[in-house]
Structures are given as C-alpha cells and as structure tokens.
C-alpha cells in the first residue's frame, strides 16, 4: 500500500538524527568519522547548539550532513534553519515504497472485478427498468400471459386502486366498465362529492378535498382517467388544462373561466374569483 508523502515542519537537529538512525549509525560512530566530540553532535541533534558561534556551528552541521550524504541543496536549508530562520518543510518519507509484481497484479485484478460488478449491476437495473416500462402494472392475481389484462405504460407511484379507479383501455370494457360503473353508482356520504379527471395528453394534477386530504399530486399520462372522492369543495390545479376534462358527480365542469396560461386553478363546486384576465361575472 502506498505511503503518502507528507510535508511537515522539522528542525535541523531532528532531521539529522532521523537521517542517522535511518542509516543505522550510532552517534559515536559519526563522531569518530568526522572527528567531532560526541556531546557536541548530541547538542546539535537536540537543537541546543545556539551558544556556539555561527561560523563554527555551520561548519559542524555541514560536516555532519555531508557524512550522511544529504544533497547539497538541502544542506544550506539545514544551516539556515539552525540559525533561527523559517523552518523548512521536509518529507517524512524519502520516497514511495516499491511495489512487487504480485501487488501490481492484485491491484489490476481488483480494478477489473470492480468494473465487471458495476457493469453487471447497471445492466440489471436498466433491464428491469425497461421491463417495467414495457409491461407496466398488473391487476392483483393476473399474469402477463393473460391477454387483455396487462396495463401498458410506465409505472406511476401515485396510481390508486387499479381494479376500480384506473380506467385504462388496455383493460378492456369487460373489466373496467363494471368496476367504474359500480363506483359511480355507489351512494355518496353527506357532504362528499365524486370528481372524475380524464386527460388526452400528459398533465400535472393536484387535488385536495375540504379536509385538506391530498387526493392527487402527480403527472397523469395522456389517455388516462381517474376518479376521486372526498369532502367538497375540492381544490384543483391542472397544468396543461387544455388537455383535461373534469366532471363532478357525473356533470361536466367548465374550467374555461379559471384557465390562465393553460393552467387551471379553482375551487369546486364553490365559486372562486376568476383570474384577472377573465371578465367579471363569468362563472
């Protein structure tokens, strides 16, 4: 594993001591080699040689650094640092460790396996998304092999009970007709109403009832029709209103007075102040 080279401030004496110990040299060995007192070298390593005249101290550091084979361009930095100038940033590690061929092979194999795994997961996700987009949702208990029962179109997270409220042509009149008729003919509790929305093109629909219950807030696909039941009046907002048709308890609702820039915003059945660009009195 690669060791990261970090630059940290390090004093001259500490740097010399690290270089000496890295070469497995004792202080006595260095003192004998450069013919200097061992205690003097110890004080230099401990950065306690400030009492020595600079001209001598610099010479001792120069001899010590040359013996440790420190590059010439770094020796002057050591001398300046010992003189009290700005501490130089130095690397903790002399260089990155060499990797063996086995390490390189393991690293390359890991990259290949990771790429294959990511590619497989991406393919499975795409394939599943395409399958759902093509097959759509199915009624409870039905399978795709049964003709005339699959709902064509993308899956919508806000689809209500498909068995009774989603009037899709792909279901066939034999299934959708009786179910919707049963819902339409069912008696309404006091104070409630039934709203039907059908769209010929994709339209954004927001519907909430008088109790603040959110009945719809989603994009209805073109060609779909949905029924909503709740406490009246309903608060309704429809984007692309020109493609939408509304009926309340079986009676068509005229949205024209409430449309501006192809967006209808209204409260129904209670009257609402029309938009500013609609003539007053037009309901």
DSSP element (H, E) containing 260: strand 259-260
Q: Which two tokens stand for residue 235?
A: 């608060």
Q: Which two tokens stand for residue 127?
A: 């394939």
| Band (135; pLDDT cuts 50, 70, 90) | low
Predicted confidence (pLDDT) at residue 123 exceeds the cutoff of 90:
no
pLDDT in tens, 17-48: 899 999 999 989 988 998 888 888 888 888 88
- Domains in the chain with CATH codes: 7-91 (1.10.260.40), 187-268 (2.60.40)
pLDDT in tens, 93-106: 455 556 677 888 88
Decide if 88 contacts 77 (C-beta within 8 A): yes
pLDDT at 209: 92
> What does 96-150 look like in DSSP terms, one character per residue?
PPPPPHHHHHHHHHHHHHHHHHHHHHHHHHHHHHHHHHHH--B-TT--TTSTT-B
Q: How far apart are CA 154 and CA 224, in angstroms?
A: 12
Lowest mean pLDDT among 56-60, 130-134, 181-185: 181-185
Predicted confidence (pLDDT) at residue 161 exceeds the cutoff of 80:
no
pLDDT at 96: 54
pTM for the whole thing? 0.34
Q: How far apart are CA 218 and CA 160, in angstroms?
A: 11
pLDDT at 178: 57
* Helix, strand, coil percentages for the chain (3-state, nearest 5): 40, 20, 40
Q: How far apart are CA 149 and CA 170, in angstroms?
A: 7
């Amino acid at each position: 594993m690669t060791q990261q080279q970090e630059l940290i401030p390090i004093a001259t004496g500490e740097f010399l001591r690290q270089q000496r110990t890295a070469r497995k040299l004792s202080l006595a060995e260095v003192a004998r080699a450069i013919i200097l007192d061992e205690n003097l070298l110890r004080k230099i390593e401990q950065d306690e040689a400030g009492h020595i005249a600079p001209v001598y101290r610099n010479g001792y550091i120069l001899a010590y650094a040359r013996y440790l084979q420190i590059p010439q361009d770094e020796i002057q930095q050591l001398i300046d640092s010992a003189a009290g100038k700005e501490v130089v940033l130095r690397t903790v590690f002399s260089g990155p460790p060499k990797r063996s061929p086995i390490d390189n092979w393991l690293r390359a194999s890991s990259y290949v396996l990771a790429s294959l795994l990511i590619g497989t997961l991406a393919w499975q996700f795409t394939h599943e998304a395409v399958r759902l987009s093509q097959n759509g949702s199915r009624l409870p208990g039905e399978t795709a092999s049964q003709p005339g029962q699959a709902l064509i179109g993308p899956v919508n997270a806000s689809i209500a009970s498909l068995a009774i409220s989603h009037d899709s042509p792909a279901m066939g009149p034999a299934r959708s007709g009786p179910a919707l008729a049963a819902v339409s003919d069912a008696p309404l509790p006091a104070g409630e109403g039934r709203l039907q929305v059908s769209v010929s093109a994709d339209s954004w629909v927001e519907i909430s009832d008088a109790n603040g219950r959110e009945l719809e807030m989603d994009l209805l696909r073109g060609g779909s029709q949905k029924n909503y039941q709740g406490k009246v009046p309903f608060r309704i907002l429809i984007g692309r209103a020109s493609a939408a048709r509304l009926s309340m308890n079986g009676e068509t609702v005229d949205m024209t007075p409430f449309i501006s820039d192809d967006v209808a915003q209204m409260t129904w059945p209670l009257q609402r102040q029309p938009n500013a660009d609609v003539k007053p009195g037009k309901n």
